[in-house]
Structure 1
Amino acid sequence: MSKIHVTTTINGDQVEYLCDPRETLLDVLRDRLGLTGAKEGCGTGDCGACSVTLDGRLVCSCLVLGAEAEGHDITTIEGMATGEELHPLQQKFIEYAALQCGICTPGILVATEALLKKNPNPTETEVRYWLAGNLCRCTGYDKIIRAVMDTAADMREAS
């Protein structure tokens, strides 16, 4: 099987890689590029652990082929922090203890960042709806929701 050459932007950097035609973006990110933040929880797009943004749209990277990334802009959990400084959502997740085992956390953080970019003033119901595609078996969602709502309030005050 011949490899496909892909040129894309990941976390602001232009990246080139070779992948098999049936290889998922998740596999490319983890196995070829060493970006291991996105996790494979289900492989069927049901858990959200592998969430990334593709041209600003939230997607499950287990459902996107690596070759489909050609010419697109991808952001992973590794692209949220700026240098050594955590993204405000990451900081609030720590403050609220909104994470435990860490499998779902990267996908939830990417999803909530996408939400706050789209809607900087979400209601609790909107946050819960937005996160419906992200499964967490450890924390429940109360701490996660509170961390997102507090981050949104802080970001509104700062702007």
Structure 2
Amino acid sequence: MCTPNRICFRPAASRLSRLGAASLLTAAAVAVPSLLPGAAQRADAATLAAKALSVAASKKGSPYQWGASGPSRFDCSGLTLYSFKRAGKQLPRTAAAQYNGTTHISAGSRRVGDLVFFHSGSSGSSVYHVGIYAGGGNIWHAPKTGTTVRLEHIWSSAVWYGRVN
């Protein structure tokens, strides 16, 4: 019902039905993770990946140093190691070992926070560089001597993707 000044009042039944819908949605949000196997793990992995990506981005401008794993200098795998450690997950030290320690996924399945592995062959031992996928075809990484941690577009099609669980 509305007054001539366009002030409208909803009947009590309408408010109650909205409250019932909100309660139902709240109950579903609580119950669904237990009904869908793996839903909680996927949410945890997404949170882990988002935290690691945020840590890597916070290191923008930090100098590259071969063999360094932070907190102020990094090589490529040192940056991913440091970022995921700060997010609560331990990774192996080298890019190849990190590739072998992740769940391998397709380019179509990649998500923000997944690892991007650059390779020169067909085996995990050919992985020579790693970065953290930031979306839009970009990665956070520590490129090479004389550079700093930065966001950069993926420049090669010779990449594999891995998800940290």
TM-score normalised by the chain length of structure 2: 0.26
TM-score normalised by the chain length of structure 1: 0.27
